[in-house]
């Protein structure tokens, strides 16, 4: 196997790494959920930055990228800003993570192209399983929609129930 060159993202509070979102993806999630809740109106980066105390320049970079990727639509000029470009039910966690961080792959040799650079791919016993796990992970992330995320705020009760029942 042998992974990519550069990495579910992983880092804890002080040094211990782990499965987690990058700060960029975190901010994006906050921003998108904000935009999803103000569906009709145009929000400037400053609006969102003020509401959620996200560093303005950083947030702008993120919104620019999400705009280029077609997830949000931008309106330039004074009174400009951003709006969700797609239905919240149609954007998943996987979508905007991919948009911001690039294609995800559990291991480098599992991205279905590129001869891998891993000298032992041909007889590697882990490659095939890794590809399958990666596929399931992608499907999992693709299944978590923005609509579900923001919607659940209102129905947290029932969702907690679902989780407890193990319906994951």
Partner DNA sequence: TGAAATAGCACCGGCTCGGTTCTATATCAT
Partner DNA sequence: ATGATATAGAACCGAGCCGGTGCTATTTCA
Grouping H, G, I as helix, E, B as strand and the rest as coil, residue 145 is strand
Q: Which is nearer to DNA, 16 or 41 (CB)?
A: 16
Q: Does 19 bind its own copies (CB under 8 A)?
A: yes
C-beta closer to DNA: residue 72 or 91? 72
Scan residues 90-119 and list those touching its own copies (CB under 8 A). Answer: 93, 97-98, 101-108, 114, 119
Q: Tokens 């400053």: give the residue.
A: 46
Q: Stretches 46-54, 59-67, 74-82, 83-91: which one binds its own copies (CB under 8 A)?
A: 46-54
Decide whether 3 or 60 has the Cβ nearer to its own copies.
Answer: 3
Query: Which residue ranges make up the site for DNA (CB under 7 A)?
Result: 3, 5-7, 9-11, 14-17, 22-24, 27, 44-46, 55-58, 60-61, 63-64, 67-68, 74-82, 101
Contact call for residues 36 and 146 (beta carbons, < 8 A): yes
Q: Which two tokens stand for residue 87?
A: 């239905």
CB atoms within 10 A of CB 121: 15
- Confirm if 107 and 2 have CB atoms less than 8 A apart: yes
For its own copies, the closer of residues 77 and 166 by Cβ is: 166
Contact between 125 and its own copies (CB under 8 A)? yes
DSSP 17: -
Alpha carbon of residue 33 to chain centroid? 12
């Amino acid at each position: 196997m042998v992974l990519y060159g550069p990495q579910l993202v992983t880092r804890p509070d002080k040094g211990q790494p782990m499965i987690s979102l990058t700060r960029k993806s975190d901010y994006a999630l906050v921003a998108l959920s904000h935009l999803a809740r103000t569906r009709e109106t145009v929000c400037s980066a400053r609006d969102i930055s003020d509401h959620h105390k996200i560093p303005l320049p950083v947030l702008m970079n993120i919104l620019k990228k999400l705009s280029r990727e077609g997830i949000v639509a931008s309106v330039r000029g004074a009174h400009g800003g951003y709006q969700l470009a797609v239905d919240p039910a149609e954007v998943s966690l996987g979508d905007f993570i991919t948009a911001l961080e690039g294609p995800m792959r559990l291991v480098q040799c599992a991205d279905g192209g590129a001869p891998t650079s891993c000298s032992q791919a041909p007889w590697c016993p882990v490659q095939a399983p890794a590809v399958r796990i990666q596929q399931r992970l992608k499907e999992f992330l693709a299944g978590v929609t923005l609509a579900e995320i923001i919607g659940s705020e209102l129905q947290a009760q029932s969702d907690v129930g679902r989780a407890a029942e193990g319906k994951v």
